[in-house]
A = this chain, B = another copy of it.
Amino acid sequence: MANIKEIARIAGVSVTTVSRVLNNHPYVSKDKRAAVLDTIEQLNYTRNMNAVHLITGRTGTVAVILPYINAFYFSIIMNGLAHEALLAQYRLILCQSNYLADEEIKVLEMLRNKEIDGVIIVSTALKPETIEEYTAYGPVVTCQDSGQRRYSSVYIEHYAAFRQGLQYLKGKGYRTIGYCEGRQNGSSASIRQTAFREFIAEHKLVFQEEWMIYDCTTEEDGAAVARLLLEMPERPEAMIITGDHVAAGLMIEARKAGLSIPGDLAVMGFDNQPIGRLLEITTIDNHLYEMGASAFRIIHEQISSDNPAPVYRKLDYRIIERSTV
């Protein structure tokens, strides 16, 4: 196929000039530029991007590692990432890891091989030391607190955020509280679980083990939880639920069974997802969109700078008071 050399020959200029035209460099005379563009058109030429990647050492691509592409929590973060990537004219490649270390390593190896310019790890099964090793080959940003490691992170203090949610419920007078969690293997899930148990213990609240329910990720799961609650001999006055979609399913099903919310059951959501707004769910906004956007901005900056120090960006959270608590 046609290459830059052939374009140069036919247009009667040097390859340098062709390259300048391709890259919009100013120092090209009007007629030569026109001649080059003409030949490009005639020969239906495009650059071989592999050659560009080789010589520039850049690929304009960042990989995103996340466990499940279809989880609501992650998809909000993805929206933030995607928006910023578009602005920066970068390409993202999505890698669903299912929390398999091997899959994640494969992506990090791509960084080492120069196939990508950086890696954004939304949630991971890898040990921090493993990630740290790869920072030698390019910037890595995680969306979990990395604890001053050699790579950047954008994170929420899940412990504090979750406690604040509980505190809010307690402040409203609720004394028995149940808890719905998403997938157990996420690291933030175990942090929240600790926060929950400690809070219950500190405040000497009544608690039953069956009020703690795992693996809730969809509206359907929420509906199932509602049915579960209805069958319990004793059920909590309030539920704190990680994920507004689950909260939505729970509420809809509970109302169907005649429960009034928050009268019979208070519901506190999490993540401030669009559906929560629709259903007036009181929730904790932990700025997931901003988290994604911020992660991309950081990695973009680090790709551009040549000796970047890691950045640790803590995002805040806030309770959005609506009508379910």
Contacts and interface: CB of A to CB of B under 8 A. Distances in A.
Contacts of A48: 54, 113-114
A94 interface: yes
Contacts of A69: 69-70
Contacts of A75: 70
Task: List 4 A-B pairs, minimum CB-CB distance, nearest first.
Answer: A50-B53, A49-B113, A50-B54, A70-B70
A53 B94 CA distance: 21
A181 interface: no
Interface in A36-59: 46-51, 53-54, 59
A220 B218 CA distance: 11
Interface in A1-58: 46-51, 53-54
A225 to B, nearest CB: 16
A49 B111 CA distance: 10
Interface footprint category on A: 20 to 34
Contact of A113 (B47, B94, B115, B219): B47
A109 B46 CA distance: 9
Contacts of A220: 219
A59 B69 CA distance: 24
Given A69-B70, A70-B70, A220-B219, A50 B94 contact: no
Contacts of A70: 69-70, 75
A93 interface: yes
A59 B93 CA distance: 15
Interface in A48-101: 48-51, 53-54, 59, 69-70, 75, 93-94
Contacts of A54: 48, 50-51, 53-54
Contacts of A113: 46-49
A170 interface: no
Contacts of A313: none
A157 B54 CA distance: 45
Given A69-B69, A69-B70, A49 B94 contact: no
A220 B47 CA distance: 47
Interface string A104-125: 0000011011110000000000
Contacts of A112: 46
15 contacts: A46-B109, A46-B113, A48-B54, A49-B110, A49-B113, A49-B114, A50-B50, A50-B53, A50-B54, A51-B54, A69-B69, A70-B70, A93-B93, A94-B94, A219-B220
